[in-house]
Amino acid sequence: MSTEQQSASNPEQLRRVVIDPVTRVEGHGKVTLLLDEDNHVKQARLHIVEFRGFERFIQGRPYWELPLLVQRLCGICPVSHHLAAGKAIDQLVGVDQLTPSADKLRRLLHFGQVLQSHALHFYYLASPDLLFGFDSAMSKRNILGLLEDYPDLALQGIKLRKFGQEVIRMVTGKRIHGSGAIPGGMNKSLTVEERDYLLKDVDDAINWSQAGVKLASDIHLADAAFNNTFASIESGFMSLVGSGGELELYHGGLRGTDRAGNSVFDHFDYRHYHDIIHEEVKPWTYMKFPFFVPLGMDDGWYRVGPLARINLCDVITTPAAEQARFAFKNQAGHEAGAAVQSSLAFHWARMIEILHCAESIKTLLHDPDLLGNDLVVTGEKQLEGIGVIEAPRGTLFHHYEINEDDIVVKANLIVSTTSNNQAMNESVRQVAARYLDGQQLTEGLLNYIEVAIRAYDPCLSCATHALGKMPLQVELLDADGQLLHRLVKNSQGEVRE
């Protein structure tokens, strides 16, 4: 029996420590630690405690509303949901191939989204830990502390994020929750003025991105022994790759490996994802646990996101980012050819992707197809559509079924953070066991747990989906606030007083 199973059987004998909320992440989550009398960690879990249920909200709506509806899942990565839904509804209207103009507009939009989201995470949320120290003063560990001590770096991050947001605004009309993707294409092209507006800052964005890659790599390599072992776990990985194995953020086939680096599937058609990925539900969280079917629940969990993508791709098609990938894969103290397993290496990989996005945006802005007006194609109606995209945080699945009246009757979303769920829990347990076990807990030590979670850049609001029954507690109070009666329903639907 595992330590966690033992502790679960007698939790009343243990002390409970709660980190609530986990800070500097999108959405609301908490961590619980169960400690014995000597402060030894017996259980560590990441809980997602908010419930939203978009998979049910969108049932009963006409399919063409989906790209606008689902982006309300999040204010940080709305474009990712917008485009994943857009790809799914393309299939519903029988379209497999967009016009060159529509395809490149979507790709431009997606590169802007990944760039701004990565910049937000690295500069605003993660770099204070990396620059000031995990247990530094709380007053320093934020963007204001960064502006005070590293003003040039902070402003660079702010400007880089702004550039990504401006790309989104030029394509969709708004920085957040704009419109672009429609069934079979896009609703507008770029104007010459919009293109030129972005071109005037794109070289700066590339320079800022290169500086960001250097900063992330310098931080990681300054103490490689620590950074390669902190929250490091052995896992499989999954991402989209292009037909030649290149890094592909918008469209491609699925590539998955086990924790030893062996191929589980490659160039797999994502429209059949349900044959290789299943999801497990646990009663103590609203986030599900996906796994590779061929490996089973115990061995089949995996990671997605920048670390997975840089590990799994064979090449990056933009030159500066490819050079950065080569350095990442050949870093000091890392076995040549093996996957980088360090959770903190997510930050370095994230900055390589920012550079790739900036380079790709420049290339696209010089493509005359962005100004074209041939934007929509049509086909024969289908009743099922599956859209998959590489969101900033990893592979994102949108799966819809409609009826003959064009109404959504079923929806399933596997969000990037959901795929990282087991890995985040494993990282939390590793950090708790290594750095907190037997120690007198302090705020600085507890931040080690949060650092491990923040490495994954989780979007907890996006990932709050559940099956089964929702836990509920109802209390009846009198006019003086005295408790008269309480009923509690657990996640299995059992009711007790």
Q: Give the per-residue SS3 of 160-213.
A: HHHHHHHHHHHHHCCCCCCCCEECCEECCCCCHHHHHHHHHHHHHHHHHHHHHH
Q: What is the mean pLDDT of residues 255-276?
A: 97
pLDDT of residue 8: 47
Q: How far apart are CA 273 and CA 321, in angstroms?
A: 29
Q: What is the mean pLDDT of residues 157-186?
A: 96
**Among 39-48, 63-72, 455-464, where is mean pLDDT lowest?**
455-464
Which CA distances in Å does 186 have to 168, 183, 252, 393, 484?
Answer: 13, 8, 20, 24, 58
Confidence of residue 186 (pLDDT cuts 50, 70, 90): very high
The half-sphere exposure of 75 on its side-chain side, counting CA atoms within 13 A, is: 3
**pLDDT tops 90 at residue 356:** yes
pLDDT of residue 288: 84
Structure tokens at 308: 């997975």
Confidence of residue 142 (pLDDT cuts 50, 70, 90): confident
**pLDDT tops 50 at residue 207:** yes
Q: What is the mean pLDDT of residues 9-16?
A: 68
Residue 357 makes CB contacts below 8 A (sequence gap 6+) with 111, 112, 114, 115, 118, 164, 209, 249
Q: What is the mean pLDDT of residues 88-98?
A: 97
Sign of CA dihedral 255, 182, 198, 122: negative
Burial class (CB in 10 A: 0-12, 13-18, 19+), 440: exposed
Q: What is the mean pLDDT of residues 166-191?
A: 95
Q: What is the mean pLDDT of residues 207-215?
A: 97
What secondary structure letter does DSSP report for 441? P
Structure tokens at 496: 């007790």
Q: Are strands 483-489 and 472-477 parallel, antiparallel or unpaired?
A: antiparallel
The half-sphere exposure of 200 on its side-chain side, counting CA atoms within 13 A, is: 6
Q: Are 319 and 213 in contact (CB under 8 A)?
A: no
Confidence of residue 460 (pLDDT cuts 50, 70, 90): low
Q: What is the mean pLDDT of residues 334-341?
A: 80
**Among 65-74, 185-194, 371-380, where is mean pLDDT lowest?**
65-74
110: left (phi over 0), alpha (psi -120 to 50) or beta: alpha
pLDDT of residue 391: 96
State the distance between the two ends of the chain, measured CA to CA, in whole angstroms: 31
Angle at the Cα of 412 (from 406 to 413), degrees rounded to 5?
120
Taking Cα atoms as reference points, which of 346, 348, 350, 312 lies closest to residue 424? 346
Q: What is the mean pLDDT of residues 66-91?
A: 91
Encoded amino acid at 83, one letter: L
**pLDDT tops 50 at residue 13:** yes
**pLDDT tops 70 at residue 359:** yes
Higher pLDDT pick, 416 / 438: 416
- Residues forming beta bridges with residue 47, ordered by sequence position: 30
Confidence of residue 92 (pLDDT cuts 50, 70, 90): very high
Residue 84 makes CB contacts below 8 A (sequence gap 6+) with 70, 387, 388, 389, 391, 396, 397, 398
Taking Cα atoms as reference points, which of 456, 397, 400 lies closest to residue 277? 397
Q: Are 41 and 433 in contact (CB under 8 A)?
A: yes
Confidence of residue 469 (pLDDT cuts 50, 70, 90): very low
Encoded amino acid at 212, one letter: G
Encoded amino acid at 107, one letter: R
Confidence of residue 19 (pLDDT cuts 50, 70, 90): confident
Q: Are 452 and 427 in contact (CB under 8 A)?
A: yes
**pLDDT tops 60 at residue 234:** yes
pLDDT of residue 473: 55
Q: How large is the C-alpha radius of gyration of the chain?
A: 23
